[in-house]
Amino acid sequence: MEALTIYLRKINIYHTSPCFAEAGKIRVKARLSDDISEIMPYLNRVVKNANYNEHAPNLTMFKEFRMITLEPENLILIKALNDTDARQVLDWLKDLINETAERKTEIEPLYASKKRPHPLQLYTWLPRINCKQCGEKSCLAFAALLSVGQQSLDRCLPLFTDDYQEQKTVMIDLVDALGHDISNYIDGGV
Amino acid sequence: MAVYFDNAATSYPKPEAVYNAVEYFQRQVGVNPGRGTYQKSREADGIIFDTRSALASLFKISDCSRIVFTSNVTESINLALKGYLIKGSHVITTAMEHNAVWRPLKVLEQGGDITLSLLKCPSGMAFNPEELPELIKKNTALVVINHASNVTGTIMPIEKVGKICRAHNIPLLVDAAQTAGVYPVDVQVMHIDLLAFTGHKALLGPAGTGGLYICEGIDLMPLKEGGTGSESLLEMQPAHLPDRFEAGTLNAPGIAGLGAGVKYILEQGVEKIRQHEIDLTEYALLKLKQFPDIVIYGPQDAPSRTGVISFNFTNIAPEEVTYMFDEVYDIMARSGLHCAPQAHRAIETVELNGTVRISFGVFNTQAEIDFLISALEDLANA
Ligand SMILES: Cc1ncc(COP(=O)(O)O)c(C=O)c1O
Ligand code: SF4
């Protein structure tokens, strides 16, 4: 189904380079065919892990481990796996922006910037027993990697036992805000 | 009038958009995708991506990075078989396979790497999927099936096979050389784990294009290692698709043309193309059946087959028929074994030197079939 009014027609990649953030991945710069400033506060509302800065303006968000920084007519995508992956993400983003624009009247724009959970905040809610079952040296190390998307919450096995039910609920909310996929955790747990 | 009835070998002509896309790529883009950081190279990347995502829409594949380009279905099948099968595996296939499946399987079997079991296709009819569970062994690693025979056009019951394979947790590799582009293929509904296709037949692309869809969760060893334009420092082949299986310079002009072919199919609608094929096949079958001296092989009704018809005169050799077609009528059709001796064993035509095969494409017309029939009438009365 073609949308009636297309808000953003095209995202054109104009630069590709190796990613500084992570070896083996790529960083892509692209131009947007249309100015999306007006849609940013709406995206900020619908994308859980989005963070909007009204003054710049810009909006950062995550697609799994990949990070996207949107400006009114430009974007930077980092940590894409390869060219195909980058283009798939940009196709997804274009659809997301167009769908958001189409549903604009139903969405309450959000101008405030949301805070990304700090690694220490994540740490507070972990079991903090340094049992190393997650493969990391300590709960703190695990929290740090979690906050940058390089660990997955379900690797902390103790958290998913009956002893840590309350902590688990809070942690799921926190990683949700970080943009992790939490569908595995809410459908009855791991 | 020249009539082309060899679309099962390769489709001809192609939609105008295909010629234009190849020419545009060669003249206006002309550079390698995935290698550079300059504008034209990114345009090339974009064209490759568009073809990949058009193919994904056609086959209902949700993640287009799971489609890797190859030079034809033969390479796709070799990659799937040699990249997946390990020593000691048992493989189930059919008695109607093209040499593209048959030969690599036979080489693996003769090397002592695998054992084979066959689903029988008596008289070129589709095998009975209920016989599949009886062939499954503890070490059955793969089921390999052509979606439709290139000799008789017989359409195989892929969806039923897919269900059985899923229930037994055995991956299914489908050779869709004869169906991709002309018959609806849905990897989800059909439970296809590995879909091998070629670009130059009903997908309407140029020769030298093809691909393999690799379902998530299936890990293959690459057939070849080399440059991918990504992760160059890595000494091993990159782990991520599609780069893992696309070492070496891609056939970018061909892929550009293939993209135009697939977009043409998506615009027309594969159901509409299939209906056109059924209409032509039904008409041709009806007319051919009026010849008392002609034997038609395989299913006798159009919906059970693609637009491929193999037949023989009881009293004229197939190569003589196609010779006359060519010399006198300018009709292009093929006689012989069509690279599928197995299928000819099934219909018992090896001793006859095969069959006469006519195969329709999206641009064939009923008038062309009438012309063929008048040629056959001349031959029958000679
Ligand atoms: C069923 C089938 N499999 C495989 C092939 C091989 O195709 P290609 O030569 O494009 O690899 C063909 C076509 O000749 C075919 O009809
Ligand atoms: S598994 Fe959980 S509790 Fe154990 S060290 Fe890792 S983060 Fe800490």
Query: pLDDT tens-digit profile of B60-91?
Result: 999 999 999 999 999 999 999 999 999 999 99
Q: What is the C-alpha separation between B215 and B122, in angstroms, rounded?
A: 32
Q: What is the C-alpha separation between A10 and B204, in angstroms, rounded?
A: 27
pLDDT value, residue B36:
61
Whether a cis peptide bond, with omega within 30° of 0, leads into A57 is yes
Q: Answer with the one of B268, B286, B318 that is the final residue of a domain.
A: B268
* Superfamily designation of domain A119-185: Electron transport complex subunit B, putative Fe-S cluster (1.10.15.40)
**Per-domain boundaries in chain A:** 11-106, 119-185
Residues B142, B189 within the same domain = yes
- Residue span of the structural domain in which B172 resides: 16-268
CB A99 within 8 A of CB A41: no
Instruction: Please give all residues whose beta carbon lies within 6 A of any atom in ligand 1, as ranges.
Output: B 72-74, 98, 100, 146, 150, 175, 177-178, 198, 339
Q: Are strands B294-296 and B308-313 parallel, antiparallel or unpaired?
A: antiparallel
Q: What is the C-alpha separation between A145 and A91, in angstroms, rounded?
A: 28
Residues B20, B8 within the same domain = no
Ligand in closest contact with the CA of B334: 1
| Phi and psi torsions of B277, nearest 5° | -65, -40
Architecture of domain A11-106: 2-Layer Sandwich (3.30)
pTM of the model: 0.85
Residues B7, B135 within the same domain = no
pLDDT value, residue B35:
62
pLDDT value, residue A3:
45
Q: What is the C-alpha separation between B358 and B345, in angstroms, rounded?
A: 19
Look at residue A79 and give its three-state secondary structure. Answer: strand
Residues B358, B303 within the same domain = yes
Query: If you measure CA to CA, which chain B residue comes closest to A28?
Result: B37
CB B206 within 8 A of CB B258: yes
**ipTM for this model:** 0.78
Inter-chain touch A91–B238, beta carbons under 8 Å: no
Q: What is the C-alpha separation between A153 and B112, in angstroms, rounded?
A: 45
pLDDT value, residue A1:
45
Residues B327, B243 within the same domain = no
Structure letter (DSSP) for residue A116: P
pLDDT value, residue A24:
83
For residue B338, the ligand 1 atom closest to its alpha carbon is: 14
pLDDT value, residue A23:
80
Q: What is the pLDDT of residues B10-31, one digit of tens each?
A: 999 999 999 999 999 999 998 8
CB atoms within 10 A of CB B150: 26
Residues B214, B135 within the same domain = yes
**Sheet architecture: strand order including B294-296:** B294-296, B308-313, B355-359, B334-336
Look at residue A63 and give its three-state secondary structure. Answer: strand
CB B164 within 8 A of CB B194: no
Nearest-CA distance A115 → chain B (Å): 32
Based on the number of CB atoms within 10 Å of its own CB, is B169 exposed (0-12), middle (13-18) or buried (19 or more)? exposed
Q: What is the C-alpha separation between A120 and A115, in angstroms, rounded?
A: 13
Mean pLDDT by 10 residues, chain A (190 residues): 72 89 87 96 92 89 91 94 95 96 95 82 92 94 90 94 90 84 64
Share of chain B above pLDDT 70, in %: 99
Q: Is A127 in the pocket of ligand 2 (CB under 6 A)?
A: yes
Q: Do the first three CATH levels of A11-106 and A119-185 match, i.e. the same topology?
A: no
Average pLDDT, chain B: 95
Q: Answer with the one of B268, B289, B316 that is the final residue of a domain.
A: B268
Residues B374, B255 within the same domain = no
Q: Are strands B194-198 and B172-175 parallel, antiparallel or unpaired?
A: parallel
Closest residue by CA, ligand 2 atom 8: A139
- B109 falls in which pLDDT band (50, 70, 90)? very high
CA-atom Rg of chain B in angstroms? 21
Q: Is B367 on the interface with A (CB under 8 A)?
A: no
Cα-Cα-Cα-Cα torsion A132, A133, A135, A136, nearest 10 degrees, comes to -30
CATH number of the CATH domain containing B154:
3.40.640.10
* CA of residue A186 relative to chain centroid, distance: 18
Distances (CA, A) of B300 to B70, B126, B250, B308: 35, 12, 42, 12
CATH number of the CATH domain containing B315:
3.90.1150.10
Q: Is B266 on the interface with A (CB under 8 A)?
A: no
Residues B201, B133 within the same domain = yes
Residues B249, B298 within the same domain = no
Residues B126, B172 within the same domain = yes
- Provide the domain count of chain B: 2
Q: What is the C-alpha separation between B102 and A75, in angstroms, rounded?
A: 50
Give contacts of B243 with chain A, Cβ < 8 Å.
82, 84
pLDDT value, residue A2:
47
pLDDT value, residue A4:
54
Show which of residues 240-259 on chain B sit within 8 Å of chain A, judged by CB atoms.
240-243
Structure letter (DSSP) for residue A113: P
CB B196 within 8 A of CB B176: yes
Of A37, A55, A156, the residue nearest A113 (C-alpha): A55
Q: What is the C-alpha separation between B335 and B6, in angstroms, rounded?
A: 10
Q: Which tokens sit at A123? A: 């740490």
| Phi and psi torsions of A50, nearest 5° | -75, 150
Spatial neighbors of A165 by CB under 8 A, at least 6 apart, are none
Over range B365-377, report the average pLDDT: 96
Nearest-CA distance B63 → chain A (Å): 8
Residues B229, B314 within the same domain = no
Q: What is the C-alpha separation between B299 and B124, in angstroms, rounded?
A: 7
Residues B243, B293 within the same domain = no
| Phi and psi torsions of B116, nearest 5° | -125, 145
- B356 falls in which pLDDT band (50, 70, 90)? very high
CB B111 within 8 A of CB B105: no
Spatial neighbors of B178 by CB under 8 A, at least 6 apart, are B8, B146, B147, B148, B149, B150, B153, B201, B202, B306, B308
Q: Which tokens sit at B328? A: 């006198």
| Phi and psi torsions of B54, nearest 5° | -65, -40
pLDDT value, residue B1:
76
Q: Answer with the one of B233, B268, B303 that is the final residue of a domain.
A: B268
pLDDT value, residue A178:
82
